[in-house]
Amino acid sequence: MRWLAALLLEALVLVRRPHRVSGEAASAPERPEGSLRVLLSSIPFSPVHPIIELAKELSKRGHDVQVASLSSVQEKVERAGLAFVNLGEGASEAQVAEKARASVHGASSLKVWGPVFEEMSARMSDSLDNLFASSAAASASLPDVYVTTVLTSPTMEVASKYSIPVMVSQCELALAPRHNTMPYSVPVGSSVPYVGATIMQRLRKLWAAFSWHFIVPVRGYPLTVIHPKYTDGVLKMIHSVPGIDYPFHAQPLIQYTGPLLRNDSTQLSRLEPSLLEWLDASDLPVVYVSLGTVFGIDETTGPILFEGLVNQSEWRVLWALKARDWRYLPSHEDSPNLRILPWVPTPAALSHPRVKAFFSHCGANGLHESLHIGKPIIGMPFIGDQPDNCLRVQRAGAAVCLNVASLTAQGIQQSISEVISNLSYRDTAMKLSRISHTYGGVKRAADLVELVAFLRGDTLQLQTVADREGFISAFALDFIAAGFMLAFISGIACSACCRMVCDLLLRRRGRRHDDTAEKKQKRA
C-alpha cells in the first residue's frame, strides 16, 4: 500500500507541476531567461548564516531569491542585500540568551530547546501555507525550488502540498542516525570511538541504528522536526566534509559541500582598518575568540576566561564578545595584548596570517569555517551538537577540548600553548582545509539547487534501494533474520533429537545391563 500511495502522489505531482512551470502570471515581474524563483528559509539561529550565503550566490547568478524566517533576522537578511519574507515574530535576543543560560546550567537541552524549535517550525509552516495559498489564489508564480533546514523540515510538507521541489540545507554534520544510518556510525552525542571500539561499544552503535529504525518509529520521535518522513527522497546538502564528519557510505541524496563561504567572506578588507593595524602591530601569534551569538559568558566563566586568555605574554587575543557580556570581565582598558569588539567577521579574522588558533564554542558554522581556512581550534563547547563537534575534531587531531564545567585559567593557557606550539595541529587543520576546498562550497551548493529545480524535485535517479524499498529490504535484514530464526529453530530441533537419541540409547543400555544382571543372578 505504501508504494501505491507513493505512486499516486508522484502522478499528482507530475500533473500539477506543468501549470506552475510553463505559465507565469501576467503580473509576475520579468526575470532573466533561465532564472529561477528560489525561496530559502531557516529558524533565526545559526542555520540562517549558510542560508544567507547561498542566497547571495544564487542572487549573483541572476535568480529571483527570497529568504523567509522570523522577524528577528530581518535586519541581518536585508543587510546582505536580500529580499526578506516575514513569517512571524521571533524570540528576542534576551529571551534566546536566557534559554541558552538555562540549558548550560543543568537543564536538559532537549527540554529547553525542543519546544522552541517545534513552536518556530509550526509558526513558519502556517505562515508559508498562507503565503503559498494566497499566491496560488492570485495566480502568482510559486517558487521553482524551496530550500530549508532540518529544524524547519515540517515546512517542506507545506511546499510539497503545492508541488514545489524541496531540498535540505544542513549546516551541521551528517548526524547519525538522523542522516547516517550505517550500523558502524557513531551516534550523535556519544563518546564511542569511530574505530577501535570494544565489543560493548560496537553493540551501542548497532543499538542506536536498530532503535532509530524499529523502536523510535513505534514510540514516537522526540521532536517532530526530526521525523524522516519530511526528508525521505529529498536531496540533503551537508555543509561539512569527511574528515571533520566521520566518513560513511553516503547515498547520492546526501551531498557534501563544505562550509558555504563566498570568496569575499574571507577578504581582509572586511576588517576595520583599526583592527588590521592592531593585528599587524606585533609579531606575537593571535588567538581569535568567539563563542557565537547565542551563548556568552557569565559571572563565573568571564573572570576565568579573562585570566586564562589575557594574563600571559605568549600571544595576543582578539575577542568578539557581545556588549551585554562585557560587564562580566575585569577592567581591561590597559591590556595591550587584548582587543575586544562586539562583532568581528569570523572568516575574515581567521584568514589573517597573524591569527594562529580559534577559541570557539564549536558551533557548526564557526568550526567548519576555521578548518576550511586551516586554523586549529581550542574548543569550549556548551550544549547540543557542540561537544560532539569538538570531540570529532579533537580525534582528527586539529583541536583540544575544554570542559566548561571544570574550566580553569591554567587549563586554558596549557591548551592554547599546546595548539600554537605543536605544529601537528596546524598541519592537520591544513589537511582538512584542502579536503574542504575540494567539495566546492557555496558554488557547489548553488549548483545543487539549480539541479533540483531542473529535475523538478524528481530525485528517482539518485535514490538507492534503501531510499525506495526501505532499510530492511536494502540490507536483506529480513532474510538475515529469517536465517537466524531458521538456524535457531534447527538448533532446538537438533538438540531435541539428540536428547531423544541419547535417552533411547541410555534406556537400551539400561535394559541390557538389567538383563545381564538377571542372567548372572540366575546362574548363581
Contact, 310 vs 317, CB < 8 A?
yes
Residue 14: the pLDDT is 32
List the chain domain ranges.
36-258+443-473, 267-437
Find the Cα–Cα–Cα–Cα dihedral 125, 131, 137, 138, rounded to 10°: -170
Q: Average pLDDT per run of 10 along the chain, which is 524 residues long?
A: 36 33 36 80 91 96 96 93 92 62 56 79 93 87 93 91 94 79 80 87 86 85 84 92 89 93 91 95 95 84 93 93 89 83 95 97 94 97 89 95 93 96 97 96 96 92 83 78 89 90 79 67 68
Q: What percent of the chain has pLDDT over 70?
A: 87
Residue type, 333: E
**Residue 61 CB neighbours (<10 A):** 18
**What is the distance between the terminal CA atoms of the chain, rounded to a whole angstrom?**
83
Q: Choose among 387, 398, 466: nearest CA to 187.
A: 387
Residue 17: the pLDDT is 34
Angle between helical axes of 109-137 and 93-104 (0-180°, round to 10) = 150
Residue 19: the pLDDT is 32
CA angle 123, 234, 156 (to 5 degrees): 15
267-437 has the same fold as 36-258+443-473:
yes
**Integer Cα distance of 237 and 254 in angstroms:** 6
Residue 16: the pLDDT is 33
**Residue 486 CB neighbours (<10 A):** 10
Residue 509: the pLDDT is 72
**Integer Cα distance of 179 and 228 in angstroms:** 9
Q: Does domain 267-437 have CATH number 3.40.50.2000?
A: yes
Give me 524's grid cell.
548363581
Q: Does domain 36-258+443-473 have CATH number 3.30.465.10?
A: no
